[in-house]
Chain A
C-alpha cells in the first residue's frame, strides 16, 4: 500500500493525480526519499556547482560583483570562461604559501592531537563501564559549550600579561613574559584544544572493541608491554587512528576562527585568505577559486575518511 493508493481513495480527482505521480516514479516511498534528497541537492551539492561557475567568471564592480559566464547577444550564446583566477592563484606566492602553511599547521596539530588523544582514549576504553561513561561525557561536554568562547579563553591564557606568563613570572621561572599569543604556537594550541574530542571519540570506539585476550596472550608469551602495544594494539587500532586524524585534519585546514583570534598577522591560513578575499577585497571569483582549490587539496583526506568509515560500518 502506498500513499498514492491512499490519495486515490480519499480525493475524487486523486486517481488521476496518483496515476501521474506513479508514472513519473513518485509513489509514497519516492516522495519520502525525495524530501531529504532534494533539500540536500539544492542546499549542499548545487552550491558547489555555483562556486565552480563563479570561479570561472571575471570580477567586476557590479551587483553581484562578477560578470556572467554566458550571455545571449545577437542570437548567439557567448560563453566567456575565465581561467585567470586559477592562474592568478598559482602565480601569486601568497596563495601557494597559504595552502602549504595550512596543510603544515593542520598536519602538525593533528599529530599532537593524536599523541594527547590516544592515551586518553586508551585509558577510557580500559576503565570500568561506569567510569567509562562519565569520562566520555567529560570529553564531549566542552564540545557543547561555545567553540568561539573556548578559543577566546586561550587569549587570556596566552597573552603577554595572561595567566601562563603571570604564573611563571610569579614562580620566578621567567623574568619577562614569553610571546605566545599571535604566533603559530597559539594556533597549534587552539586547534589541538578544540579538536581533541574529535580525535578521542573514534579512537575510543575502536579501542573499546579490542579483545583483551590478544593482549593477555602476548603477555603470556613473554612480550613486554611496549612490544605488545606496538605489535598488537597499535596496528589493530589503525582505522580509529585514520578516522580521528582525518576528522581533525580536514576542518583544521580550512579553519578561520582560530588563526584569526590566536594567530599573528603572518599566520597565513587558507580559510583566512578566503575570508579576506570575500569580505575585505570583495573579490568573489577569487574567493570561489580559493574554495575550489581547497576542495581539491581535501579530496584525498575525505576519501580516506569515507573508506575507513565504510570498513567500520561493514564490520559492525
Chain B
C-alpha cells in the first residue's frame, strides 16, 4: 500500500495547542497503515484526516453532511467524514481517496472517472469516487437511474453528473455487475 508510516510528532500533537482538554488515544487503520492518534473529543474524522494526517484528498465542502465531498470508506461503508467524530471511530479501518490505487495502478473507478471525464474542477471528485466504490460494494444499483439516486448525496457543482454515471457504469461492467 502506498501509505506513509505514522509520523510520531504529527500523530501526538494535540489539535488545540496548549488545550488542557483531555485528548483521547485512538487507533485507526488508514489506507492500510495502523496509526495511534491523540485526538481532541471535538475533532471530526475529516479534520483529523486533513489537518493532522495531511490527507487532504478528502475534501471539506460544507462541514454539514450536505455535499458529500468528505466521503470516505469506514469499515468498507461510505460515510460523510465531517459528521463523524474521530473518537467514535476508534479501531476502524478507513480508506480515503489516497488509498484506492494499488502500487501506482488506479482503482477501476478512478480510471473510469478519467476516461469518462467525470469531473471538472476536481474538488468533489475524491468524495464521488469513494462514494462510487462504496456503492459498487453495496450492490444495490442495477441501472443508471439507481446510480443517479444512490449517488445523489455527492454534489458536483461543475455538473459532471452524466459523466459520473457513465464512469460508474463502466466500472460496474468491469466488475461484472450490470448497470443498465
Do A and B assemble together?
no
**Partner-A contacts on B (CB < 8 A):** none
**Partner-B contacts on A (CB < 8 A):** none
